Structures are given as structure tokens and as C-alpha cells.
Structure 1
């Protein structure tokens, strides 16, 4: 595996930490900037929206840029806005920095996925994607709990400075080692964004995108509420919450690593079985979450299943959208973040209606069941095409 892919994964780790660390920093931000907890929590939604908007826009704008310029430019902007966020005393400015950070994060991730898959042979593309996305899962394992602890010890601003500092080694290595040409050299002088965008008309691409959004929506519907499920439902002390989040992250890392070794963008039997298992697994978490040990076990298992399937579906999107090498990474990014945005919204509505945080897990089960239905439709359509 090319060393540069691990460099990209380091940057993705820093960006993933930034995306998820807000859940542990909301009280500190609210108190320091004299805003409500709800307003401070809206910073998470701002980031998700920025990712959704930023992925296709930034991928399109940078399609003809040299890959080194695109990666370095996005990463530099990411460092700058975190520095601004760390020093501002104005909530509106902080909100704006989160949107901009998400936009450039989305651009970096879209370009990085295209670069990573272009650096390896087709048979190793799933592995390359898994290495890249392992940065996100490692952020769940280490970055998010560390950010929460750092915020508790030194204030929320120190977490922003830490993310900016984490990006600097990757930025230096990007300047030194990134490919200088487009991700696909054969298209250097012939990047047709209109033609690539038309890949979205393909039914297999549409099905892969909706399936990825549904699975990721189920994942983040519960992940957004996992801390309060632990404290308010299972009765865990506040000090155990980083451990619970880390347990989910350990499972996620194992799932992505396994998917990278066995996945190839095809919806093979093992992947289908994992998708079929998700509704029952989320329901099991809802039913057993009042007990600490089953909750920790479920967190590890569901982290593994959810992120393993999610990583495979990223490869699936890029496989079926292979005619859009400059934009297919952005397609996958939009799908994942649409799920990450909608899942917590559905879970929030469910928990407010029922007054029970376990409703978040039931929301995950419902979204996972939707994914099963989508997979069934996709398989039926594929069968009909084969018969015809």
C-alpha cells in the first residue's frame, strides 16, 4: 500500500476528530459564548450541511486542479478556519468556521478518495479506501474521547488548536509527496464534469447512494445519542462515556479493516448478510441498553457492522460510478453525510415524542430496515436484467 495513502488517512483522522468532537464540547461552548445549549449543538448540523454541499461543489471546482494543489489547498484552509474558531468570541463567526471547515473537509475527502484508488491496482481499491476511512474510525476510538478530555481540562478552544496542529504533519507531507497531476492521468485534458454528473442517472448508482445514506443514517441516529443512552438509560457515570464511545470506535475500526481486506465494491453474500443483520442488531441494543455490559457489547458489534458495511458501500458507489472518476468520491461523501444529517434528526424527533432515549436505537432499526428493502429492490432489478 503506498505510504501516501497513510498520509491522507492522518489528515482524515484530524478532520474526523473535528467533525465528531463537538458532542463533548457543547456545554463549554455554550457557557463561554453565552448562547443556549441548543444553539451550540447546532454547530454539528452546520458541519453536516457543509459536508453535503461542499463535496460535489469542491470536487467539481478542483477536478482540473493538480491533485497536490487541491489537497494542500483544502487542508490549509481547514487549519486556518480552526485557528479562527479557536480565538473568536463571536458565535456567528464560530458557526461560519464550522460550515467552511466542513466544505473544505468534504473537498479534501472527495479528492483523497479519488487519489487513493488511482494509486493502486483495481483489486486493491477496497483496501485503499479502507485505509483512508480508518482515519474516521480512529477519530471515534481516540480523537473524540481525547477531544472531550482536552476540552474538560483546558477548555474547548484547546481542542480546536489540537485539530489544527494534527493537520500540520499531513500538510507538510502533502506538499512533499502528493501526485502533481489529476487523480486519473488518462483524463488530464478531458475532464467532462457534465458527463460525470450524468452518472447519477444510473439506477445502480442511485441505489448504492440511497443504500449508503440509509445505513449511515442508522449509524448516526444512535451514535448521536449514545452518550445519553449510557448515562440516562444504562446509568453509567459521566466518566464512562468516553469508554463507551471508544468501544463503538474500536468496533468501527475492526469493521472498516475487515471490509478493506475482503470487499471489492460488490454486494456479495457476506455484505448482504451484514445489512440484513443491522435491523435486528439495532433493536437488540434498544432492548438491552438499560444494562451496561450488553450496551458495551452492542456498541462494539454495531460499530463493526455499521462501519464495515458503510466502507463497502463507499466502494460500491465508486465501483458503479466508475465513469465519474473525478466526482464519484463526492457522490459517496454526500450520501454518507446526508445519512449522518438525517439520522440524528429522525432520532431527535423520536426521542422528543416518546421521552425515551432508546427511541434513537429504534430509529436506527427502522432506517436499517429501509436499507434492507433497498437492497432487496436492487437485487431484484439485477436479477431481472440478468434474465433479460
Structure 2
């Protein structure tokens, strides 16, 4: 059965887009080459990253959403949006394999007058370069003449309910003015505001700037955390006061490392690296090591060695109240603690099983009992289910890497 929209890639970008489209009555098919998430979604089960609930998936299905692995579905749509993952490769450059595979599958079935949109994070130049070439070669059609082609950066924050799809402006850059307007007509049905960029490269660079802005500012506040600890200054009180300034300041808060799908990009297809981003990456990548250093120091100050110490890690996901562990610093922190000889266990209401170095990490069933038994409890992620006041009372020694505990109740990062 024909659909108005095909969302290619049913991950943290694609599913919210499909949800928004179904909500406004756009008949949508979701295509993914991996049969596992497709089968789970078709059965009404939520994605493992927790970005959508089971009830939300059921509403999508009842609204006409069709998860599919058959690429023939792609030849029956008016609009196709590529939301394939682009993880960093060994050289830290974004891996465009998923985008290329999606483009080939779509190109073989591309019909004239279709609007093709790319939302995956990509280096500037990808839409009018790699993507355009693959679509034209596989279809025999010309972008800008026979079909519309545009880029729109994904901007949603997984798990954040305050800024949904409709309330988040959509940036669009088309290959031609007509491509931009076709994309604007589609996104105008989903969001309250459409922002037109000059072209695809500008729209792609918006994503680059937004991602790197986050990482650079997190690096700054992470460095401030190390400095303030050495000076005996309460950084969280500093941030509380600083964010009262009505201009020129945006509050970021330190943590044990930077996780998530939005990786910093320091090389953008040229020989000119972004030195500020390189430095920020180095700072953020050192934070797990710094956390372990603080753990060892705290244990030593209380007459205990890291070797043989029982260390309980709380919250191992990259964001609060989500099950997604993408690039979570918890893995490296656990490995480094194990290297010191610590006996590591964990508690996370969203993660029933966790393996480090292919070995299962014991999961605490009773949080308070585990904290009372552990020599050191480390809060890595502040899930709302955690009663930090009660935890501070029960734990023998508590290191709070998120500044979430009441002042004086724990050692802060």
C-alpha cells in the first residue's frame, strides 16, 4: 500500500520523525535493514534506547505506522527521509556506510517528483556530493530537476519532553530553491517554524556547529570542575550564580564524561582541523580517568586501597531516565577501576544487564543495601528514581559526579 512518507533508519532520529508524521495524519512507513528493531516495533515493543514508550509505539501503529524491511516500500512514497546512523570510525571521521546503503536502496526505486531529505549527521558537502551521486547513478534521475534533494539536521534531544518535534524549528537547505520549498512544505506540516538555509552545506554545518558548541562548553566546565576541586571552590554554586546573568552566559554542568550519539567532529573533509574541538575532545575524554583518580584518592583518604575495594556505580546510561548507553563513560570508568583491582557492581533501573570486557558486572537488586555494603558509591547518572538524600545517609562513601546531591551530603566531582 502506498505511503506519503518513508523514514529510512528507525533509530533515535528516525522514530521521533515517524511519530511526529503519524501524529499529523501522514501515512508513514519505517524502513530499516535490521529486522530486529522492525520486529520489535511491529509487535508494539519500545526501542531499547527508551526514546519512545510502549504506549507511544502502540499509538503510532494504530495511526497507520508500518515498520518494514522490504525495500520495495521505498518506491511508493512522495517523501523519503534518510535517518541512518553515522557513528565515528577508527579515524574519528563519521562513517557514512549507513547513509550510502540507504541511498542505494532508495535510488533503485526512486520515482520522479519524490522529495529526498537527509537528517543524519554528516560532514558538509555530503548531500550534494556522496548522496546526490548515489541517487542519480542508481535511479537515472537528476537531483533538482527530476526529484527534490535537501538536508535538514536532526535537532531533537532524546528523552526531553519540553522540546518536541513541533516546538523545535527545522533548518532546511535544498539543492535548488525549489528543493528547499518542497522540503519546507513537508516539514511545515510537522513543526511550528521552518528556517531556510542558503543551501545543503550551510544546513549540514548547522549540525556541526551545534554539536561542537555542546562539546566545547562541556569541556570548559569539566576543566573548571578539576580546577575548582583543587581550589576548594563549590563549582555548582558558581554555576548557580553565573546563570542568573541575563545575557552572555549559558549554563553547562560537568560530569564523568560525554556520551550520546552527537560526537564532536574535528575534521570536516578538509586538511584544516578545528583545534578548539580537538582540545575539547581531549579534555572530555580525560574525565573518566579523572573520576577514577578521585575514587582512588577518596578511598585512600578513608584508609582503604582501591585494590579489593567494593565500588558501586549508579546510573550507567549516557542520559538520565533513558536506557540508552551510547558512548556512556561508565564503561571506561568500570574498566579503569577493575584495572586498579576494585570489585565493581552497578545499579541502574533502566539496564538489567551490563557486560564489561565481555564479563557480566553484578547488578545490585537493593540499592540502599548495596550502597551500605560498598566501600564507595559513585553516582554517574542522576535518574529521577534515585533518592539522593536517603542514599547519602546509607552510603559509606559517596562521590557525586553530577552535583545532584544536597550540598554537603556527598563528595562532588
Normalized per residue, the structure richer in helix is: 1
- The structure with higher relative contact order (CA 8 Å, sep 6+) is 1
TM-score normalised by structure 2 residue count: 0.21
Structure with larger Rg: 2
TM-score normalised by structure 1 residue count: 0.22
